[in-house]
Structure 1
Amino acid sequence: MLTHIYNFLEKSVENFSEKIVFVEPFAKERKEITYKEFDLYSRKVASEILRKLNNDTLPLQKAILIILPKGIDCLISFFGVALSGNFYTLLDEKSPKERIEKVIEVLKPKLLITSKDLNLDLNLPTLYTQDFKSFNTDENLITKAKEKHIDTNLLYVLFTSGSTGIPKGVSIAHKSVIDYTFWVCETFDFDENEILANQAPFYFDNSVLDIFSSVKVGATLHIIPNHIFAFPAKVLQCLEQEKVSTIFWVPSVLIYFANTEALDNFSSKHLKKILFCGEIMPNKQLNIWRKHLPQSLFANLYGPTEITDVCTYYIINRLFKDDELLPIGKACKNTELLVFDENMNYISTKEIGKKKGELYIRGTSLSLGYYNDKEKTNKAFIQNPLHDNYLDLLYKTGDIVAYNEFEELLCYGRADNQIKYMGHRIELGEIENIINSHDKVRNSACVFKEEIICFYESKEEIDFRMFLKDKLPLYMIPKHFKRIDSFKLNQNGKIDRKALYGLI
């Protein structure tokens, strides 16, 4: 029985010890590491962690804070922490000190892993990446730690922004990541021949697919720095040179690449699987990608951080018009989707069309709650309203969905992005989808401040009145349109909607 994420690495070391597992193709000097070397360094780090924490005899997992840039050393830290029987939290090395302090207050970490180059002074016992080589492996300590391990132990706590300003720590167990990784590899037919290129920052849950799926099947993962995505031609050249077969990127990046016309000069014999997740993907830009890579598989994945990255998927199997909404599809294996209206009445898959509700999730993928925050946990993870016979938790996603005629889910956006205006309930995401289909619009975002205001990215001012007249009811047409050169993106590569209010 597989209970530990490190089992994936041990199996791949047996089968592919000399194969390259991780590559930093844009490092000053190209960096790469084999499965055997990666295992060795991870064991060194695990041993040092266990030596450092040896005084604490309580049978509790310890929080290890990691502050490092995206790279191989960061991944060694992940696996080292996991092997030590503890759990990790990664923060962006560019995080403001105030956010780091807030996370430390919630997490109360016992140890910090970082680089001397970052000059951090957080008053914590610290391991430095520069010392990894000099650590000694202690197999006795590792064996004891593994004997104590169970699959409901935490693997990581990932901090997202909290509405009160206090970050929320989403707690994810080994069993959830193991279950998810098996599903990914089975559904998308991953094997040792797969070559992936990572876009997601490692503190963003989309990276879970890249990292653990690669290690499970003996694949190779290329780690592309966040800032390089500002140069589409450079990234696409890298994909071709490295013979990348799979990417899993956020829609904002795919949209940007399509809008810059970088794909016009890109033809790949190798890129066979394009997966995306994190936002609604407009069909206009997706159709550009599909036109350039007609033989490739495209899949729309959906899921909040609280359910281990992904809970629904749709492998695109038909043509879509530019102004259609792309389905988020059906439940992943070992996951159940439940839709309830605002009065908590169940909406079945047979209730097709405009009967919308909020999506709730149940299954192994569910987070074990928000770290050190019972109040937020109890609000987001609720007893299944269909019964009260035993503890059966659902995660309240906050996303508005409806079923189409294929019993696939359509996602209209966030419930907190749903407004009531002139007596009508309106999903702003539905408006954005139509505006994005305009041939001169690169991307758009709507906000509500007494009236609906649409920001759109375009090279020129556009009069939308005639375009929207037959596509949206009058009450859904924004009162104001504001052209911008480009959207500010947040750390995860999504449109920073909060920043838009400052432009009103």
Structure 2
Amino acid sequence: MRNVLEYLEHSAEKYPDKTAVEDMANKCSYKELLQNAKRIGSSLAAIETPGRPVIVFMDKSIEALTAFLGIVYAGCFYILLNPEQPPLRIQQILGVAKANYIITPGETANTLRDIEFTGKLLPYNDIINHEITEEKLQLIRALSQDIDPLYCNFTSGSTGIPKGVLVSHRSVIDFMEYFPSLFHITEADIIGNQAPFDFDVSVKDIYSTLKTGATMVIIPKKFFSIPMQLLDYLCEHNVTTLIWAVSALCMITQLKGLTYKVPQAVNKILFSGEAMPIKHLNIWKRYLPDAAYVNLYGPTEITCNCTYYPINRDFEPDEALPIGKAFPNEKVFLLDEENHQITEEGTTGELCVSGTALALGYYNNPEQTGKAFVQNPLNSRYLEPIYRTGDLAFYNRDGDLCFAGRKDFQIKHMGHRIELEEIELIINSYPGLERACCLFDTVKNRIIACYVGAMEGKQLQSRMQESLPAYMIPTAFYSLTELPITANGKIDRKKLLEVYGGNNHERR
């Protein structure tokens, strides 16, 4: 197998009239999805060269997914541009991608008129009606390779310019050969899509669906701030599988949504993106005790996830969930600062990954690619690229990896090296708090705690003295009604630091 379209073609043959994907406005069967993707592919194949990027400027929807697959039929790779992104970021992504074509619904074309783009806009409703040129599509497939790029997701870059993580068919196929079977995702499942389509969590939703013949229900973004509507939607659609960001799950428990309604059909909850606070996990487990829970870990650069930890015991509120062991066909290991491998229990090192799952690098960015994707320093005998994640981890007594923070979240304060996540773990265990995160204010040389909950700052400070040394206790506490969330569903630490770091806010 060398092309992800084989998943679609197999499922369309086996389940032609079954609903493949559903959103608020429409449903689409596997047969319709296949035919419409071929129409778009035929339209693109007449004007674009295989291997080139094609941008989809849409909200997540059936149309966006159909456009993705059509782009792949043309031998190209897709980039989702979210219309809600600021014009500057859109312009930056266009500058990196240098695409010739943007697929867009007519109503968003006006947004792009304010953006400098020298290529051509392709209205979705025009290209969806193109005649299928089967011979041309077959020729493109015959000349394809599994190392051809499939998609490019843009992440924040340290230089201020977004980096495009380019992922091949081979990497997604390698991951998908194991992911659905490990977690028992089958044609009987209804997958509730939470993640935006420009975030790699959605890759697990999309390709698990296409591979198994399941159904994917696209959940509107607006529901993730209205738990009652969200839970109604999950129940109405009999969703069985949640592959969600931690913050999305915590939003429901934080707002006590499960006291309103329990989505009884849900039997698999797989989460990633941030550390899951145990008290929020325990609420889910109390309401859905028979569901399978899995902690997933992995950066975008290694195709979704590289480790997993099935949760098969109870955890105390002040415990951290392990990130577990490597997925099959991936090597995950730790290096110390001198590039020696760490194998003993309890010693922290940088988490590194090698294997087929590695991305092709950063698109049009050889300098950043060369910094992050490097030769394995443990291997001088043959080429073995690895990705250095910048994440810190250690092995516990069971041999499971445990996340220990970011290298760039490790701070030096009062002469001590401190992991901010270690402080967060303690704060998030307190019954009076819903969610908290810690920041380091380099201007005032202080640790800041931002939190949602009923406790006062002085109460928190006093409580933390029971378990943390003085140099790890925040000196500024900000009680908020909610923590800001990024488009990818993570706590927006940058925004919090902009508001509360290096300013004259009074401590609460």
TM-score range normalised by the length of the shorter chain: over 0.9
* Residue 45 of structure 1: aligned partner: 40
* Residue 105 of structure 1: aligned partner: 95
Q: CA deviation at 1:442?
A: 1.2
Does 2:360 match 1:368? yes
SS in 1 for 2:197: coil
1:446 to 432, 435, 438: 438
Q: How does 1:179-218 map to 2 (within 5 A)?
A: 179-218=174-213
Q: How does 1:270-419 map to 2 (within 5 A)?
A: 270-348=265-343, 351-353=344-346, 355-419=347-411
> TM-score normalized by structure 2?
0.95
Q: CA deviation at 1:470?
A: 2.5
1:413-471 deviation per Cα after TM superposition (whole angstroms, max 9, x unaligned): 21111111122211101111110111111111111121111111124524113321232
Does 2:497 match 1:497? no
Distance 2:153 2:262 in 1: 37
Q: Is the 8 A contact 2:318 2:425 kept in 1?
A: yes
Aligned length: 491
Of 456-465 and 205-214, more deviation after overlay is shown by 456-465
* Structure 1 outlier segments of 4+, above 3 Å: none
Of 480-489 and 198-207, more deviation after overlay is shown by 480-489
Q: CA deviation at 1:38?
A: 0.4
1:309-365 deviation per Cα after TM superposition (whole angstroms, max 9, x unaligned): 1100001011100110011100011101110122222111xx112x11110001111
Q: CA RMSD in A?
A: 1.2
Q: CA deviation at 1:256?
A: 1.3
Distance 2:220 2:386 in 1: 36
Q: Is the 8 A contact 1:280 1:413 kept in 2?
A: no
* Structure 1 portions without partners, runs of 5+: none
Quick one: percent identity of the two aligned structures?
A: 41
SS in 2 for 1:94: coil
Q: Is the 8 A contact 1:358 1:398 kept in 2?
A: yes
Of 118-127 and 239-248, more deviation after overlay is shown by 118-127
Q: CA deviation at 1:95?
A: 1.8
SS in 1 for 2:158: coil
Distance 1:77 1:426 in 2: 46
SS in 1 for 2:70: helix
Distance 1:301 1:295 in 2: 19
Distance 2:210 2:472 in 1: 47
2:135 to 134, 140, 144: 140
Q: Is the 8 A contact 1:459 1:485 kept in 2?
A: no
* Structure 2 portions without partners, runs of 5+: 501-508
* Residue 154 of structure 1: aligned partner: 149
2:428 to 427, 431, 436: 436
* Residue 85 of structure 1: aligned partner: 75
Distance 1:223 1:359 in 2: 33
Distance 2:285 2:338 in 1: 40
Amino acid at match of 2:74: S
Distance 2:257 2:92 in 1: 41
Distance 2:71 2:260 in 1: 43
SS in 2 for 1:502: helix
Q: CA deviation at 1:406?
A: 0.9
SS in 1 for 2:56: strand
SS in 2 for 1:433: helix
